[in-house]
Amino acid sequence: MCFHCHFSSGRRLPEAARRAFLLAAGAGLAAPALAQVSVGAPSAARSLVPAEDLEQAGAQQYAQLLAQARQKGALAPDSNPQLRRLRAIAARIIPFAPQWNPRAAQWKWEVNLIGSKQVNAFCMPGGKIAFYTGILDQLKLTDDEVAMVMGHEVAHALREHAREQLAKRTGTGLALSIGAQLLGLGQVGDLAARGATQLLSLQFSRTDESEADLVGLELAARAGYNPDASVTLWQKMGNASAASQSGGLSFLSTHPSGPDRIRNLQENIPKVEGLYQAARR
Protein backbone atom coordinates (compact mmCIF):
# COMPACT_ATOMS: atom_id res chain seq x y z
CA MET A 1 0.00 0.00 0.00
CA CYS A 2 1.38 3.40 -0.98
CA PHE A 3 0.46 5.91 1.72
CA HIS A 4 1.38 8.86 -0.51
CA CYS A 5 -1.26 7.62 -2.94
CA HIS A 6 -3.68 7.01 -0.07
CA PHE A 7 -3.36 10.59 1.15
CA SER A 8 -3.68 12.10 -2.33
CA SER A 9 -6.24 9.81 -3.93
CA GLY A 10 -9.29 11.54 -2.52
CA ARG A 11 -10.21 8.64 -0.24
CA ARG A 12 -11.11 9.82 3.22
CA LEU A 13 -8.60 9.02 5.92
CA PRO A 14 -9.69 7.48 9.21
CA GLU A 15 -10.68 10.34 11.51
CA ALA A 16 -7.69 9.91 13.84
CA ALA A 17 -5.27 9.94 10.91
CA ARG A 18 -7.04 12.94 9.35
CA ARG A 19 -6.71 14.91 12.57
CA ALA A 20 -3.05 13.94 12.83
CA PHE A 21 -2.39 15.06 9.26
CA LEU A 22 -4.06 18.43 9.86
CA LEU A 23 -2.16 18.94 13.11
CA ALA A 24 1.12 18.13 11.41
CA ALA A 25 0.36 20.48 8.54
CA GLY A 26 -0.62 23.24 10.92
CA ALA A 27 2.60 22.84 12.86
CA GLY A 28 4.69 23.37 9.73
CA LEU A 29 7.08 20.98 8.01
CA ALA A 30 10.23 21.93 9.88
CA ALA A 31 9.21 21.21 13.43
CA PRO A 32 12.29 19.83 15.20
CA ALA A 33 12.19 23.29 16.82
CA LEU A 34 8.82 22.23 18.23
CA ALA A 35 10.07 18.82 19.28
CA GLN A 36 9.64 17.72 22.86
CA VAL A 37 12.66 15.41 22.82
CA SER A 38 16.19 16.68 22.21
CA VAL A 39 18.40 14.90 19.69
CA GLY A 40 20.42 17.73 18.17
CA ALA A 41 21.04 18.52 14.52
CA PRO A 42 21.42 15.73 11.94
CA SER A 43 24.97 14.78 11.01
CA ALA A 44 26.55 16.95 8.33
CA ALA A 45 28.25 13.84 6.92
CA ARG A 46 25.00 12.72 5.31
CA SER A 47 25.27 15.51 2.70
CA LEU A 48 28.08 13.52 1.03
CA VAL A 49 25.56 10.96 -0.24
CA PRO A 50 22.66 12.33 -2.34
CA ALA A 51 19.32 11.68 -0.64
CA GLU A 52 17.56 11.01 -3.94
CA ASP A 53 20.04 8.29 -4.90
CA LEU A 54 19.77 6.58 -1.54
CA GLU A 55 15.96 6.67 -1.60
CA GLN A 56 16.03 5.21 -5.13
CA ALA A 57 18.30 2.41 -3.94
CA GLY A 58 16.02 1.81 -0.97
CA ALA A 59 12.99 1.51 -3.24
CA GLN A 60 14.83 -0.94 -5.51
CA GLN A 61 16.02 -3.13 -2.65
CA TYR A 62 12.60 -3.06 -1.01
CA ALA A 63 10.91 -4.12 -4.25
CA GLN A 64 13.37 -6.97 -4.62
CA LEU A 65 12.80 -8.11 -1.04
CA LEU A 66 9.03 -8.11 -1.58
CA ALA A 67 9.43 -10.03 -4.85
CA GLN A 68 11.49 -12.69 -3.09
CA ALA A 69 8.91 -12.96 -0.29
CA ARG A 70 6.08 -13.17 -2.81
CA GLN A 71 7.87 -15.95 -4.69
CA LYS A 72 8.11 -17.92 -1.44
CA GLY A 73 4.46 -17.26 -0.55
CA ALA A 74 5.59 -15.24 2.45
CA LEU A 75 4.23 -11.80 1.49
CA ALA A 76 1.01 -11.04 3.34
CA PRO A 77 -1.96 -10.10 1.13
CA ASP A 78 -3.79 -6.81 1.66
CA SER A 79 -6.58 -8.67 3.47
CA ASN A 80 -4.24 -10.06 6.16
CA PRO A 81 -5.47 -8.83 9.58
CA GLN A 82 -1.97 -8.24 10.92
CA LEU A 83 -1.01 -6.25 7.85
CA ARG A 84 -4.18 -4.18 8.11
CA ARG A 85 -3.27 -3.53 11.74
CA LEU A 86 0.23 -2.36 10.78
CA ARG A 87 -1.12 -0.06 8.08
CA ALA A 88 -3.66 1.46 10.47
CA ILE A 89 -0.87 2.26 12.93
CA ALA A 90 1.29 3.69 10.14
CA ALA A 91 -1.58 5.90 8.97
CA ARG A 92 -1.53 7.58 12.37
CA ILE A 93 2.27 7.96 12.60
CA ILE A 94 3.21 9.00 9.06
CA PRO A 95 1.46 12.42 9.08
CA PHE A 96 3.95 13.58 11.73
CA ALA A 97 7.03 12.42 9.81
CA PRO A 98 7.58 15.64 7.79
CA GLN A 99 8.07 17.54 11.03
CA TRP A 100 11.41 15.71 11.31
CA ASN A 101 12.33 15.63 7.62
CA PRO A 102 10.50 17.72 5.00
CA ARG A 103 11.40 15.18 2.30
CA ALA A 104 9.07 12.70 3.99
CA ALA A 105 6.06 14.64 2.72
CA GLN A 106 6.93 13.41 -0.79
CA TRP A 107 7.93 9.85 0.05
CA LYS A 108 5.80 7.05 -1.37
CA TRP A 109 5.27 5.27 1.91
CA GLU A 110 4.64 1.54 1.92
CA VAL A 111 3.96 -0.96 4.71
CA ASN A 112 4.22 -4.69 4.18
CA LEU A 113 4.32 -7.86 6.27
CA ILE A 114 6.63 -10.81 5.56
CA GLY A 115 6.05 -14.26 6.99
CA SER A 116 9.20 -15.22 8.87
CA LYS A 117 10.24 -16.32 12.36
CA GLN A 118 12.72 -13.46 12.41
CA VAL A 119 12.11 -10.90 15.14
CA ASN A 120 12.71 -7.94 12.90
CA ALA A 121 11.34 -4.79 11.29
CA PHE A 122 12.83 -1.94 9.27
CA CYS A 123 12.13 1.26 7.36
CA MET A 124 14.18 1.86 4.22
CA PRO A 125 15.22 5.37 3.16
CA GLY A 126 12.20 6.84 1.42
CA GLY A 127 9.60 5.36 3.76
CA LYS A 128 9.54 1.67 2.82
CA ILE A 129 8.43 -0.20 5.98
CA ALA A 130 8.39 -3.95 6.54
CA PHE A 131 7.62 -6.08 9.58
CA TYR A 132 8.31 -9.79 9.95
CA THR A 133 5.60 -11.90 11.55
CA GLY A 134 8.11 -13.14 14.13
CA ILE A 135 8.31 -9.79 15.90
CA LEU A 136 4.52 -9.62 16.22
CA ASP A 137 3.92 -13.25 17.15
CA GLN A 138 6.88 -14.07 19.37
CA LEU A 139 6.76 -10.86 21.40
CA LYS A 140 2.95 -10.60 21.36
CA LEU A 141 3.16 -6.88 20.79
CA THR A 142 0.28 -4.58 21.66
CA ASP A 143 -0.67 -1.81 19.24
CA ASP A 144 1.21 0.68 21.44
CA GLU A 145 4.34 -1.48 21.32
CA VAL A 146 4.05 -1.95 17.55
CA ALA A 147 3.85 1.84 17.26
CA MET A 148 7.09 2.16 19.23
CA VAL A 149 8.87 -0.28 16.91
CA MET A 150 7.47 1.46 13.84
CA GLY A 151 8.27 4.92 15.20
CA HIS A 152 11.84 3.84 15.92
CA GLU A 153 12.39 2.45 12.42
CA VAL A 154 10.72 5.42 10.74
CA ALA A 155 12.96 7.69 12.82
CA HIS A 156 16.07 6.03 11.37
CA ALA A 157 14.81 6.96 7.89
CA LEU A 158 13.81 10.49 8.91
CA ARG A 159 17.17 11.18 10.55
CA GLU A 160 18.85 9.63 7.49
CA HIS A 161 21.12 7.41 9.51
CA ALA A 162 21.80 5.10 6.56
CA ARG A 163 22.93 8.07 4.52
CA GLU A 164 25.20 9.16 7.35
CA GLN A 165 26.71 5.71 7.84
CA LEU A 166 27.41 5.27 4.12
CA ALA A 167 29.13 8.64 4.02
CA LYS A 168 31.31 7.76 7.00
CA ARG A 169 32.10 4.33 5.60
CA THR A 170 33.23 5.59 2.20
CA GLY A 171 35.17 8.66 3.34
CA THR A 172 34.87 12.29 2.39
CA GLY A 173 36.71 12.30 -0.91
CA LEU A 174 35.26 9.08 -2.29
CA ALA A 175 31.78 9.18 -0.77
CA LEU A 176 29.89 9.90 -3.96
CA SER A 177 31.68 7.47 -6.29
CA ILE A 178 32.16 4.59 -3.88
CA GLY A 179 28.72 5.15 -2.34
CA ALA A 180 27.20 4.71 -5.78
CA GLN A 181 29.16 1.49 -6.27
CA LEU A 182 28.10 0.14 -2.88
CA LEU A 183 24.47 0.71 -3.73
CA GLY A 184 24.71 -0.51 -7.31
CA LEU A 185 23.48 2.82 -8.69
CA GLY A 186 23.99 3.19 -12.41
CA GLN A 187 25.08 -0.44 -12.78
CA VAL A 188 22.31 -2.34 -14.51
CA GLY A 189 21.58 -5.67 -12.87
CA ASP A 190 24.27 -5.29 -10.23
CA LEU A 191 21.91 -4.54 -7.38
CA ALA A 192 19.63 -7.45 -8.20
CA ALA A 193 22.58 -9.80 -8.52
CA ARG A 194 23.86 -9.06 -5.03
CA GLY A 195 20.53 -9.21 -3.23
CA ALA A 196 18.63 -6.76 -1.05
CA THR A 197 21.14 -6.71 1.77
CA GLN A 198 23.23 -3.55 1.50
CA LEU A 199 20.96 -1.10 3.28
CA LEU A 200 19.54 -3.71 5.63
CA SER A 201 23.01 -4.72 6.78
CA LEU A 202 24.16 -1.23 7.77
CA GLN A 203 25.12 -0.93 11.42
CA PHE A 204 23.88 2.18 13.19
CA SER A 205 25.85 3.83 15.96
CA ARG A 206 24.78 4.04 19.60
CA THR A 207 23.96 7.71 19.01
CA ASP A 208 21.80 6.76 16.00
CA GLU A 209 19.92 4.24 18.12
CA SER A 210 19.31 6.74 20.90
CA GLU A 211 18.05 9.31 18.40
CA ALA A 212 15.71 6.77 16.83
CA ASP A 213 14.39 5.76 20.25
CA LEU A 214 13.52 9.34 21.17
CA VAL A 215 12.21 10.53 17.80
CA GLY A 216 10.18 7.32 17.52
CA LEU A 217 8.83 7.85 21.02
CA GLU A 218 7.63 11.33 20.09
CA LEU A 219 6.14 10.23 16.75
CA ALA A 220 4.15 7.48 18.46
CA ALA A 221 2.99 9.77 21.27
CA ARG A 222 1.80 12.41 18.80
CA ALA A 223 -0.12 9.64 17.02
CA GLY A 224 -1.89 8.74 20.27
CA TYR A 225 0.11 5.71 21.37
CA ASN A 226 1.03 5.28 25.03
CA PRO A 227 4.70 6.25 25.55
CA ASP A 228 4.96 3.80 28.46
CA ALA A 229 4.89 1.07 25.80
CA SER A 230 8.45 2.01 24.85
CA VAL A 231 9.59 0.55 28.18
CA THR A 232 7.48 -2.61 28.01
CA LEU A 233 8.67 -3.15 24.42
CA TRP A 234 12.34 -3.17 25.38
CA GLN A 235 11.63 -5.27 28.45
CA LYS A 236 10.05 -7.85 26.14
CA MET A 237 13.04 -7.58 23.83
CA GLY A 238 15.43 -8.19 26.70
CA ASN A 239 13.44 -11.18 27.96
CA ALA A 240 13.27 -12.67 24.47
CA SER A 241 16.99 -12.22 24.01
CA ALA A 242 17.75 -13.96 27.30
CA ALA A 243 15.45 -16.86 26.43
CA SER A 244 16.50 -17.28 22.80
CA GLN A 245 18.74 -20.14 21.78
CA SER A 246 18.08 -19.86 18.05
CA GLY A 247 19.77 -16.63 17.06
CA GLY A 248 16.56 -15.56 15.32
CA LEU A 249 16.33 -12.20 17.06
CA SER A 250 17.57 -10.19 14.09
CA PHE A 251 16.21 -6.98 15.55
CA LEU A 252 18.30 -7.34 18.68
CA SER A 253 21.49 -7.96 16.72
CA THR A 254 21.38 -4.31 15.65
CA HIS A 255 19.18 -2.93 18.45
CA PRO A 256 20.62 -4.27 21.71
CA SER A 257 18.34 -3.98 24.71
CA GLY A 258 19.65 -2.96 28.09
CA PRO A 259 19.04 -0.91 31.23
CA ASP A 260 20.64 2.24 29.75
CA ARG A 261 18.25 2.18 26.80
CA ILE A 262 15.23 1.71 29.01
CA ARG A 263 16.42 4.38 31.46
CA ASN A 264 16.84 6.90 28.63
CA LEU A 265 13.30 6.24 27.46
CA GLN A 266 11.89 6.49 30.97
CA GLU A 267 13.56 9.89 31.40
CA ASN A 268 11.97 11.15 28.18
CA ILE A 269 8.45 9.78 28.61
CA PRO A 270 7.34 12.82 30.69
CA LYS A 271 8.39 15.10 27.80
CA VAL A 272 5.89 13.49 25.43
CA GLU A 273 3.12 12.60 27.87
CA GLY A 274 1.28 15.82 27.07
CA LEU A 275 1.38 15.02 23.35
CA TYR A 276 -0.12 11.60 24.03
CA GLN A 277 -2.89 13.01 26.20
CA ALA A 278 -3.68 15.70 23.61
CA ALA A 279 -3.85 13.09 20.84
CA ARG A 280 -6.23 10.96 22.90
CA ARG A 281 -8.58 13.94 23.27
> Which residues participate in catalysis according to the annotation?
153
Spatial distance between the Cα atoms of 90 and 85, rounded to a whole number of angstroms: 9
CB 133 within 8 A of CB 115: yes
Cα distances (angstroms) measured from residue 128 to each of 90, 107, 140 = 11, 9, 23
Across the beta sheet with 121-124, the strand order is: 110-114, 128-132, 121-124
Whole-angstrom Cα distance, residue 227 to residue 264? 13
Q: What's the CA angle centered on 163, arms 191 and 200, to 5 degrees?
A: 50
